[in-house]
Amino acid sequence: MEMICYSAVKQDHWHLYIAKTERGLCYVSSPGATIEELESKIKKHYPESILYRNDEALKPYREELQEYLEGKNREFTLPVDIKGTVFQKQIWEALKKIPYGETWSYSEVAKAINRPAAVRAVGAAIGANPVLVTIPCHRVIGKNGAITGYRGGLELKRYLLELELEGNK
C-alpha cells in the first residue's frame, strides 16, 4: 500500500491540488479541481494507495510552484514520480527541453522524438501529463500559433505563456 500525501496551492485566483509519493511529485490538478477529482486521478494511477493531507511534506513543492506562478522562479528542481507509458514519458521528457518563454508546436515535439507522423499521439500524451506546469505542456501550441487545449484550462495556459514571455524580457 503506497502512501500519497496532498496539499493545496493557492496563488492569486488559482487553486490547485498537488500530491506526492515518497519519490516525488505525482500530480498537479487543474485549477478549481475538487478533492474528489484529486482522489479519482490518484486512484487511477495508484490503485492501492492511501491519500492523506500533509501540508508540511508538500511545503517545498507548494513554495516552488507558487514562486513559479508569481514569476520568481523559472524552473522546477524537486523530484517527480509520474506514471505513464514509455511513449508518454518520452513526450514528457521532450517537453522539459522546451526553453522557458518559448513555445513548440505539436509537430515540433513529434520531430524532437523522431516520430514526425505521431502528432495526434503526441497531443494525447501531452494531455495526459499528470504534473501540470512542472512539466511544461503549456508551452505547446498549434502549428498556426493558436493556443490550443490544456488540461488546466486555456485561461491558465495563457497566463503561464504571458508570465514566461514577460520573464524573458
Active-site annotation holder among 94, 137, 160, 161: 137
Domain of residue 43 covers: 2-69
- Give the chain's domain count: 2
Catalytic: 26? Answer: no
Query: Is 111 inside any structural domain?
Result: yes
Full-model pTM: 0.92
- CA angle at residue 137 from 132 to 140, to 5 degrees? 155
pLDDT in tens, 21-59: 999 999 999 999 999 999 999 999 999 999 999 999 999
pLDDT of residue 168: 66
Query: Is 135 inside any structural domain?
Result: yes
Partnered with residue 8 across adjacent β-strands are 17
Query: Is 163 inside any structural domain?
Result: yes
Query: Is 78 inside any structural domain?
Result: no
pLDDT in tens, 64-114: 999 999 999 999 999 999 999 999 999 999 999 999 999 999 999 999 999
